Amino acid sequence: MIPENKLNSVVNNVYAVDFYSIDKPLLAAVGGKAANLTELSRINEIQVPEGFCVTTEVYKKITEHNQELHDLLDKLAGLKAEDRTEISKISARIRTIIENTPIAEDIAEVIREHLTNFGEKDAFAVRSSATAEDLPTASFAGQQDTYLNIIGSEAVLKHISKCWASLFTDRAVIYRLQNGFDHRKVHLAVIVQKMIFSQVSGILFTADPLTSNRKVLTIDAGYGLGEAMVSGLVNADNYKVSKGAIIDKTISTKEMGIYSLNDGGTKEEKIGIELQNRQVLTDEQILQLERIGRKIEEHFGKPQDIEWCFADDAFYIVQSRPITTLFPVPEANDKENHVYISVGHQQMMTDPMKPLGLSLWQLRAGRPMFKAAGRLFVDVADSLATTSGTENLIDAMGQHDPLIKDALLTIVKRGDFIRSLPNDGKAPVIVKSSKGMSSADILAQIGNDPKIVFDLIKNDEISIQTLKQNIQSKTGLELFDFILEDIQQSKKMIFHTQHMGVIVAAMNAASWLNEKMNKWLGEKNVSDVLSQSVSNNITSEMGLALLDVADVIRPHASIIKYLQEVKSDNFLEEIVMLNGGQEVRDAINAFLNKYGMRCAGEIDITKTRWRENPQILFPIILNNIKNFEPGAAKRLFEQGLQEAMKKERSLLDQLEQLPDGEQRAKETKTMIDLIRSFVGYREYPKYGIVNRFFIYKQALLKEVEKLLQANIIHEKEDAYYLTFQELQETVLTGKLDYQLIAQRKDEHRLNKKLNPPRVITSDGEIITGKYKRENLPVDAIVGLPVSSGIIEGRARVILNMEEADLEDGDILVTSFTDPSWTPLFVSIKGLITEVGGLMTHGAVIAREYGLPAIVGVEQATRLIKDGQRIRLNGTDGFVVIL
């Protein structure tokens, strides 16, 4: 416990400062690690080895006037993380310069003075504390070097210089380049801390880093000094603890430890045979460490990654930092158990959304949605609390995303998380399964009149035209009220019985056909072929329409050259000056008038639409010109139609040869007609929503323009970091807190680094589902089969649609595809995505285009390398790397 008089002492020296004298204003001068040690030393009953911090002021004095150093920093700033050889060469020179720069005598004297507070024979740990290290939005842990068991003031001074130099190890430089940190703006303070000669040491996470469960604390423990474990040099025991009980132990074989030498430095030493397989900590010590960890976590207010050591029957804490890799738990204002499923995995957009997009999507949702790391989640705990609710939800998720389905089944089977409610039979049925339904039952859901789809589309088109007209006259607060009212009206259309009935009837008809044809004829996934080239699929029509645009451009070499090089925002005005330019501009405008509201990640209103930047489409158009002959759109559609008709004739002919064949063929023909009439409409509702949202966006940006002119907002994009309600308030008051904008931008940058889970509980536990598959080839990469066929080809791993450079026969591998990716589908022969389900957009379009496809392939973009030759089996759902 630090004495009160020391806690309140005033910092008189800018070169070095004791832990107990550091306060928040000094963060910039001491770095995150030292600031955290100060916080730790102020927690009752937490023991922190004494020490002091050499501030960044000293580092600045050492480096500020060294011209050679600054020239090298200029060179370093111009490099990319991939330039490893050049980084290594420049970094080595910088380290040499820093290590060889003497510390001014007045500064050295201040450091020696701090060392007099310790005994002459005391040893020290000398460690970095970077100004960008261990901050809430970044962990630079392990990027700089630590030196242990340093004895004597001259040795301490020498290793302080070594610490400064380690700011320019190759790994530290590459980390900064990858994360966008300016080398000049990251300064290094150095911690000098009394050495604890620990018999045992380790790391403690107050949340399980594997499952993210905040109620499970994990401890790694090994013999000797902790630095070996942090660096991954030695094995360690692992203990898991929850609520005062040890729930799991892994006792490893510990052959090596790192220990201190008497005259300074460390050595590796073999562990005695009798200790190698012994539990390092007693159960009592494990539980004591859990209490310490929870106390520290409570003090900092978030899960912590803690370094500890044990010496002379006491635990010492030598570091604590936030765990920056945990996905945050969605916000809920109660202590009930919740099960959250990802909206993004169902909407094919797992990137973080900005606040304006997030809030608008929440407003249009049919049920409450919860935020976490820029993503949206829905709580399904109530559905899982009843038998009927569980059955409905599990069945629906089987259609959307089987990995979500399996994760939910895992929670239900545990039986200890969801409180069961009386089953009153009134759980809402959103998607009724085709299991056990006859063809007549499915037909009764909606009928089989193609005019139903025509009427639904026509009604939406009329509604969109009315919205465009009426919104023109709305400004200020009236505009915000008008948008809120329109969202409510459009929700009624989306959840209309007939609208949902068409989609469900098509899904159930497809399931019926797959089940019956497999049972009666031994044919798998027949609905995939039968779904090719159907009518009224707005998304697949979009891909073919861009082929038609390519046909208009193809004859004009000067325009092709222009599109390859264009950088101007006024290209549509400039293009008419070229031969054929007017015709080309008309074709592009016609496409944009129908599809210009689309873009990658389109559920986020803040994303740039094709109408806002048509140049996004140029690489795809140029690919179409390169890969296709004129008239390809019509040929592709006709080819798919012929394949579907051929499959239909084959099935009906085979069925008629069976007992009761005439009746079976009649039922099957009815289901085929239902798919051909209705399945294309599955894509229309999203198109309608995105269409409306773009109209809202254009109107809202007119209000933002007024804020720009009044200097209330600095840049148009800054408005995207406000929620809909906050933007409304800014328009009303003419006031904006720019600290909030800066904070949101930082949060968004952090959110981009986090991968959202499919399912997460209110405990913070991420539940991962698994595919249950047998008789697969060795080394097969497994996913969900959504479009039949087997194909071999070159894998093209593409994360950004605009960077796609595809050749005929390529197989597209990406994290997710929403409708904006459809124009690429005409150029590929197969599709693999990390996210998706049977009825998500990529799956629907792959079936219509006749592309073998599997979705929900965990880590696909990492497991498959760009350019590898692969075999994709869309019938059984796996990939083999050839």
Give residue-wise pLDDT tens across range 59-98: 888 888 888 888 888 888 888 888 888 889 998 998 999 8
Judged against a pLDDT cut of 60, whether residue 436 lies above it is answered with no
Judged against a pLDDT cut of 80, whether residue 493 lies above it is answered with no
Q: What whole-number distance in Å separates Cα of residue 701 and Cα of residue 470?
A: 17
Residue 114 DSSP SS3: helix
pLDDT for residue 485: 94
Secondary structure E strands in 111-205? 123-130, 146-151, 188-194, 200-205
Exposed e or buried b per residue across 241-266, where buried means at least 16 C-beta atoms within 10 angstroms of its C-beta: bbeeeeeeeebbebebbbbbeeebeb
pLDDT for residue 10: 34
Q: What whole-number distance in Å separates Cα of residue 331 and Cα of residue 371?
A: 6
What's 819's DSSP letter? Answer: G
pLDDT for residue 182: 78
Confidence of residue 422 (pLDDT cuts 50, 70, 90): low
| Nearest by Cα to 219 from 231, 235, 234, 208 | 208
Judged against a pLDDT cut of 50, whether residue 142 lies above it is answered with no
Please say whether the beta carbons of 322 and 305 come within 8 A. Answer: yes
Confidence of residue 444 (pLDDT cuts 50, 70, 90): low
Exposed e or buried b per residue across 352-381, where buried means at least 16 C-beta atoms within 10 angstroms of its C-beta: bbbbbbbbbbbbbeeeebbbbbbbbbbbbb
- CA geometry: angle at 63 spanning 58 and 66, to 5°? 145
Burial class of residue 287, CB neighbours in 10 A (0-12, 13-18, 19+): middle
Judged against a pLDDT cut of 80, whether residue 253 lies above it is answered with no
More confidently predicted of 73 and 498? 73
Most confident of 134-143, 216-225, 247-256, 790-799: 790-799
Give residue-wise pLDDT tens across range 52-65: 988 888 888 888 88
The chain-wide mean pLDDT, for the chain, equals 85
Judged against a pLDDT cut of 90, whether residue 718 lies above it is answered with yes
Q: What whole-number distance in Å separates Cα of residue 690 and Cα of residue 292?
A: 51
| Least-confidence region, from 313-317, 445-449, 553-557 | 445-449
Pairing label, strands 123-130, 188-194: antiparallel
Q: What percent of the chain has pLDDT over 90?
A: 40
Which token pair is 691? 């269409």
Please say whether the beta carbons of 721 and 355 come within 8 A. Answer: yes
Exposed e or buried b per residue across 101-111, where buried means at least 16 C-beta atoms within 10 angstroms of its C-beta: bebeeebbebb
Amino acid at 449: D
Question: Between helices 497-521 and 632-656, what is the axis angle to 10°?
Answer: 60
Confidence of residue 423 (pLDDT cuts 50, 70, 90): low
Q: Which helix (H) or strand (E) holds 785?
A: strand 784-787
Please say whether the beta carbons of 300 and 135 come within 8 A. Answer: no
pLDDT for residue 229: 62
| Least-confidence region, from 30-34, 219-223, 437-441, 643-647 | 437-441
| Least-confidence region, from 181-190, 550-559, 602-611, 684-693 | 181-190
| Nearest by Cα to 269 from 220, 202, 222, 224 | 224
What's 450's DSSP letter? Answer: T
| Residue 776 CB coordination number (10 Å) | 15
Judged against a pLDDT cut of 60, whether residue 141 lies above it is answered with no
pLDDT for residue 357: 96
Q: Which helix (H) or strand (E) holds 878?
A: strand 878-881
The 3-state secondary structure of 470-496, one letter per residue: HHCCCCHHHHHHHHHHHHHHHHHHHCC
Judged against a pLDDT cut of 60, whether residue 434 lies above it is answered with no
pLDDT for residue 143: 53
Q: DSSP H helical segments within 734-821, as ranges?
A: 738-752
Confidence of residue 443 (pLDDT cuts 50, 70, 90): low
pTM across the whole model: 0.79
C-alpha to C-alpha distances, 339 to 331, 359, 418, 459, 807, nearest whole angstrom? 12, 21, 9, 37, 43
Q: What whole-number distance in Å separates Cα of residue 460 and Cα of residue 149?
A: 74
Judged against a pLDDT cut of 90, whether residue 159 lies above it is answered with yes
What is the mean pLDDT of the segment spanning 155-166? Answer: 91
Q: What whole-number distance in Å separates Cα of residue 798 and Cα of residue 545?
A: 23
Give residue-wise pLDDT tens across range 754-787: 888 999 998 888 888 888 777 788 888 988 888 8
pLDDT for residue 432: 47
pLDDT for residue 593: 95
Give residue-wise pLDDT tens across range 361-385: 999 887 889 999 999 999 999 889 8
| Least-confidence region, from 102-106, 600-604, 815-819 | 815-819
Which token pair is 737? 């807190």
Give residue-wise pLDDT tens across range 577-592: 899 999 999 999 999 9
What is the mean pLDDT of the segment spanning 685-711? Answer: 95
pLDDT for residue 234: 66
Please say whether the beta carbons of 770 and 758 come within 8 A. Answer: no
Confidence of residue 4 (pLDDT cuts 50, 70, 90): very low
Please say whether the beta carbons of 539 and 844 come within 8 A. Answer: yes
Estimate to the nearest angstrom the gap between the alpha carbon of 281 and the chain centroid: 37
pLDDT for residue 642: 95
pLDDT for residue 132: 55
Q: What whole-number distance in Å separates Cα of residue 186 and Cα of residue 189?
A: 10
Contacts 24+ apart (CB under 8 A), 514-520: 515/434, 515/435, 516/664, 516/667, 516/668, 517/651, 517/668, 520/655, 520/658, 520/664
Confidence of residue 844 (pLDDT cuts 50, 70, 90): confident
Q: What whole-number distance in Å separates Cα of residue 442 and Cα of residue 75?
A: 68
Pairing label, strands 266-270, 217-223: unpaired
pLDDT for residue 133: 44
pLDDT for residue 806: 83
Active site residue 556: no
DSSP string, 179-223: HT--GGG--EEEEEEE----SEEEEEESS-TTT--TT-EEEEEEE
Burial class of residue 71, CB neighbours in 10 A (0-12, 13-18, 19+): exposed
| Nearest by Cα to 690 from 442, 360, 439 | 360
What is the mean pLDDT of the segment spanning 290-302? Answer: 93
